[in-house]
């Protein structure tokens, strides 16, 4: 199993393997420090001295550092990195659906028909449409624009 910062299972793995991590890290000392980056080395050191909470915080910092680096270096995934830094899953409402067609230019195509289907069958959901000029577009139902 990996303790890769970008893995969603890292917090769970830290918790599940918390007793074993310091011992394993001590055994892997020679391997860990070869070509390792400073934050990874620091995380490993914290694990070796049984500072698991500090190590986990450094693991989260490693993830944020990668995302910031992607933004600063203007990599292909910079928009995704920005999203991951500023938004979190706990802010996402499971009953909210956002629609957009043709970069917000109009109300048409598959999103239109999916919205109309869902509006009839799932009235308890909140629907949001993204438009460049919301006042110019008419949509049925109670969707927000």
Calculate the alpha carbon distances from 48 to 19, 36, 41 in Å.
11, 16, 10
| Residue 2 in domain | no
Over residues 48-61, the mean pLDDT reads: 90
Residue 103 belongs to a domain: yes
Report the share of the chain in percent with pLDDT over 70.
Answer: 97
Position 106 confidence tier, pLDDT thresholds 50, 70, 90: confident
Pairing relationship of beta strands 96-99 and 126-129 according to DSSP bridges: parallel
Structure tokens at 128: 């949001």
Please indicate, yes or no, whether residues 19 and 37 belong to a single structural domain of this protein: yes
Total domains in the fold of the chain: 2
Its domain, for residue 20, covers 10-85
Pair 66, 115 in one domain: no
* Mean pLDDT for all residues in the chain: 86
pTM, whole model, 2 decimals? 0.55
- Beta-strand ranges (E) seen in the chain are 96-99, 126-129
Is residue 117 located within the same domain as residue 98? yes
* 29 and 79 part of one domain: yes
The average pLDDT across 38-55 equals: 89
How confident is the model at residue 61, as a pLDDT? 93
Same domain, 97 and 73: no
User: What pLDDT digit, counting tens, does each position of 88-103 carry?
Assistant: 666 778 899 999 888 8
């Amino acid at each position: 199993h990996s303790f890769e910062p970008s893995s969603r299972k890292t917090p769970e793995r830290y918790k599940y393997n918390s007793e074993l991590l310091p011992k394993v890290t001590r055994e892997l000392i020679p391997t860990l420090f070869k070509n390792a980056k400073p934050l990874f080395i620091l995380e490993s050191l914290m694990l070796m001295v049984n500072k698991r909470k500090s190590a986990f915080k450094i693991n989260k910092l490693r993830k944020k550092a990668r995302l910031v680096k992607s933004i600063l270096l203007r990599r292909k995934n910079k928009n995704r990195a920005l999203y991951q830094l500023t938004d979190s899953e706990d802010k996402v409402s499971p009953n909210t659906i956002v629609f957009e067609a043709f970069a917000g230019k109009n109300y048409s195509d598959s999103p239109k028909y999916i919205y109309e289907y869902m509006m009839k069958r799932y009235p308890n959901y909140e629907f949001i449409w993204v438009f460049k000029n919301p006042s110019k577009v008419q949509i049925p139902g109670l969707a927000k624009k």
